Amino acid sequence: MQLLDTGNLVVRYANDSQSDNFLWQSFDSPCDTLLPGMRIGRNFSTSQDRFLTSWKSADDPAPGQFSLWIDPRGFPQLVLRNGTSMHYRIGSWNGLRFAGSP
């Protein structure tokens, strides 16, 4: 187990000489903070969704009701959910900004 300079906690075999060959990494399981190098969205190879989730309260880090997702259907767009319902849609990325933002 090793904590990298990026903030990524990784687990790898002790004798593995490849620096990016991880058995598990914390960047694949984001919670409430997005660090540089982290990704959110769907990994189509593993069907794993990576998304951010609010805390239940300021004193309770259990998952809260709000989450930030990338919806991969059609043009991928950033979606804020309140529980299971969509609260806000920002739109797709056009290379400079999200299309739905002013």
pLDDT at 72: 85
Are both 53 and 18 inside the same structural domain? no
Starting at the edge strand found earlier in the chain, the sheet holding 85-92 runs 52-57, 60-71, 77-82, 85-92
Q: Residue 91: how many CA atoms within 13 Å on its side-chain side? A: 10
Per the CB < 8 A criterion, the answer to whether 8 and 27 are in contact is yes
Q: Structural domain of residue 21, as residue ranges?
A: 1-29
- pLDDT over 90 at 55, yes or no: yes
Are both 82 and 97 inside the same structural domain? yes
Residue given tokens 């982290």 in the structure block: 38
pLDDT mean across residues, the chain: 88
pLDDT at 102: 64
Q: Distance between CA atoms of 36 and 33, rounded to whole angstroms?
A: 10
Are both 25 and 48 inside the same structural domain? no
Over residues 21-35, the pLDDT tens digits come to 889 999 988 888 899
Provide the domain count of the chain.
Answer: 2
